Amino acid sequence: MVPYEQQINQLKSKLISYKAIEVPRAVASALNKTGQRVVTRTVKGVAKSLVVPQKEVRKRVYLSRANAKNMRVRVRNYYRGISAINLKARDTGKGGWLGRKGRGVRAQGKRHYPNAFIAYGRKGNRHVFERQGVDRFPLKVQRIQIKGAVDDIAPKVAERVLKQDFERLLVHDLKYRLRKFQV
């Protein structure tokens, strides 16, 4: 039988190590899970408001994760617009290139570019182009701007998810880690 004082000392050392090691890890884990939920809900909200596939928005939202030493999660957004060619764009003109009677280009989400056409760009990728004037050049690639939608939706989503989910995730993670230390 182990004396009580020795058992108390063992429990003290376990509690100290729990406080020093496991609590920061649990906080970092809860922050990362909350940040991932913010990313998911931001992508879903922006895609729904702009009527674009979530896949195209997901490429432009990033999460930098927290760890036990650096407890900070950052959700970053890449504001470059989504190219119209990625939205299943199809040319509605008839008659080939020379005798083309253009009706423009249609794309997903009921988008219509009346004076646009599909062609290969500088790097060999297909794009939806529109002429800037009456001359042959310059051409402008047609894009769907996401900056306004992301700036509007992301802060609201982050605040809401932090209020609703963070505390519950933290308590769950602390309980999980405390189970490892039971005597």
Joined tokens for residue 36? 């991932």
User: Are 158 and 38 contacting, i.e. CB atoms less than 8 angstroms apart?
Assistant: yes
Query: What is the C-alpha separation between 154 and 52, in angstroms, rounded?
Result: 17
Mean of pLDDT values over 88-100: 72
Residue 2 has pLDDT above 60, yes or no: yes
Name, in order, each residue with C-beta under 8 angstroms of 22's C-beta and a sequence gap of 6 or more.
174, 177, 178, 180, 181
pLDDT tens digits along 127-167: 999 999 888 889 999 999 999 999 999 999 999 999 999 99
Joined tokens for residue 61? 């939202």
Query: What is the C-alpha separation between 69 and 63, in angstroms, rounded?
Result: 17
Range list of H helices, the chain: 4-17, 23-50, 54-58, 147-179
10 Å CB burial of residue 28 (0-12, 13-18, 19+) is: buried
Phi, psi for residue 65 in degrees, rounded to 5: -85, 160
pLDDT tens digits along 13-45: 777 777 778 889 999 999 999 999 999 999 999
Go through 133-146 and write b for each residue having 16 or more CB atoms within 10 A of its CB, e for each that does not.
Answer: eeeeeeeeebebeb
pLDDT tens digits along 50-86: 999 999 999 999 999 999 999 999 999 999 999 999 9
- Please indicate whether residue 6 or residue 141 has the higher confidence score (pLDDT): 141
